[in-house]
Structure 1
Amino acid sequence: KLTNMFRFFVLAFALVAATNAINLDAIKPIAGGLMKGTVAQEKLQSVLAQANSDEKVKSIDNVKMQVVAGIRFIVDFTTQEDKQCTAIWVDAPWKNPKIQIVSVSCK
């Protein structure tokens, strides 16, 4: 039984590591961790919708990513109304829903 449990944990760890690697490749960070383009903007707009926020993204100004129990994103962005906002969420692909702990604040 102990051997089977060990195999299960090794397999689970490998699956989580592979899932995180796939997601990091899909988001393509550029200079200084900044990600731009339609993929990033669509992801942010999806997170805002999940947080029941009516903000519409005009531009992404800065992105920070940190590996935690998933990938934690801190995204500074400008709305179409020129408000400066920050969205924070954790992307955990093995959970349902995969986007966890969403907060949005604007100045």
Structure 2
Amino acid sequence: MGKQLTEMLKGTLEGIVLATLSDRAAYGYEITAWLREQGFSDIAEGTIYALLVRIEQRGLVDVEKVPSEKGPPRKVYSLNVQGQAYLEEFWKTWSFLSERLDQLRKGGR
């Protein structure tokens, strides 16, 4: 699955991170650690931080700087209204693709 999984993950990682933030606010390392616990063991922290910058620039999350005991303040991300709408569209698209792929797998057209 290696390379193929990596390529598919690139297309869905934004939605996965937004879904993670829909449950609770989190900072970059927290998100990465949780994803690794869920089986996404090959995800690099740098990938998540770059994605968080992109979704922040697109206005999908709110960011709050929270003091840290171990250095500079942490940027804590939470899903905002625009991000929630984007996530809902992501799930609709995911459902559409998933249903079509399942039909193909079962030999249907």
TM-score surpassing 0.5? no
More strand as a share of residues = 1
TM-score by length of 2: 0.25
**RCO greater where, 1 or 2, for CA within 8 Å and sep 6 or more?**
2
More helix as a share of residues = 2
TM-score by length of 1: 0.25
